[in-house]
Amino acid sequence: MNKGIWYGIGAYVTWGLFPIYWKWLHNVPAVQLISHRILWSLLMLSVFILVSRQWHTFRVEALKPRVLRIYLAAALLLGVNWLVYVWAVNAGFIVQVSLGYYINPLFNVLLGLLFLHEHLRPTQWVPLGLAAAGVLYLTFAYGSLPWIAVTLAFSFGLYGLVKKTAPLGSLYGLTLETGLLFLPALITLLYVETIGQGAFLHTGAISDVLMVGAGLMTTIPLLMFASAARRIPLSLVGILQYIAPTLQFLLGVLVYAEPFTRAQLTGFSIVWIALILFAVEGYLASRAKRTEPVIAAAK
């Protein structure tokens, strides 16, 4: 099997199993967890860039006013996404987290339509409408808008939109983003320490190791994903991305026994049908596009 496929599977399986990692740190407030994630991610990414002798190139490319403005917006969206994700996992909403990442690809299509003036094929409106119907149905099933799912899809979708115009690669981009979030994260950790509510070095060695390891757990799947994206078609990456929310959903229902009612099953089923139609439509359109030059040459 193509090495890129294994890298892609590794990245999405890691992201899919991430809730287990955060559950091990359920006793640490989400704001502190995210602050540690930012702090240790920046440290590890910086070490990697230094060891690979890319620091000068990174500094030249990153420290430009336009680049800093773009990545400040990306950093804020990423911070919101990380915070809501970790809080939701430890508050018992893994199933709704998975919903957010299921609807994210369809939300990306909508963002492309609204902001990038991309044109949808007529057949793409069907899965988009079905997904909207599924979320609307779940809104009635929950008794309120599934705000965790919507916030995760919205923040990560906008993050992707900002990154669409971003000039840096994934390694440099995440390093700059965590760098821009570093000061607020450090101030947060210093503040909770001064008021006696800091978790680091106060909740046991295992928790300390896991908090430091959050940086490693952030950088490893990122580097695997970057390697996969260079080696395999984007359409295959699009299929592999459903590994993560599927694992999250299974963890929420089967491992952590989160409630999953018949009404929720109906709503999720509508979204799943929409995603299947979306994937099939995309595959058929891509296949037709590849065969066009062959047909033209035959003429």
Q: What is the pLDDT of residues 17-35, one digit of tens each?
A: 999 999 999 999 999 999 9
The domain in which residue 181 lies consists of 3-298
Here the tokens at position 244 are 């993560």
Here the tokens at position 197 are 């509510």
User: What was the pLDDT predicted at 30?
Assistant: 93
In whole angstroms, what is the distance from residue 125 CA to residue 109 CA?
Answer: 10
Radius of gyration, alpha carbons of the chain: 20
Nearest CA to 178 out of 59, 45, 31 is that of 45
User: What was the pLDDT predicted at 120?
Assistant: 74
- Residues whose CB is less than 8 angstroms from the CB of residue 144 and which lie 6 or more positions away in sequence, other chains included: none
Low-confidence ranges of the chain (pLDDT < 50): 294, 296-299
What's this model's pTM, rounded to 2 decimal places?
0.86
In whole angstroms, what is the distance from residue 18 CA to residue 247 CA?
Answer: 9
Nearest CA to 173 out of 129, 217, 136, 225 is that of 225
In whole angstroms, what is the distance from residue 158 CA to residue 92 CA?
Answer: 25
Phi, psi of 64 (to 5 degrees): -120, 140
Nearest CA to 183 out of 31, 63, 38 is that of 38
Tell me how many domains the chain contains: 1
User: What was the pLDDT predicted at 297?
Assistant: 47
In whole angstroms, what is the distance from residue 256 CA to residue 50 CA?
Answer: 40
**SS3 category, 188:** helix
Indicate left, alpha or beta for 2 from its phi (over 0: left) and psi (-120 to 50: alpha): beta
User: What was the pLDDT predicted at 294?
Assistant: 46
User: What was the pLDDT predicted at 75?
Assistant: 94
Biggest alpha carbon–alpha carbon distance for the chain: 77
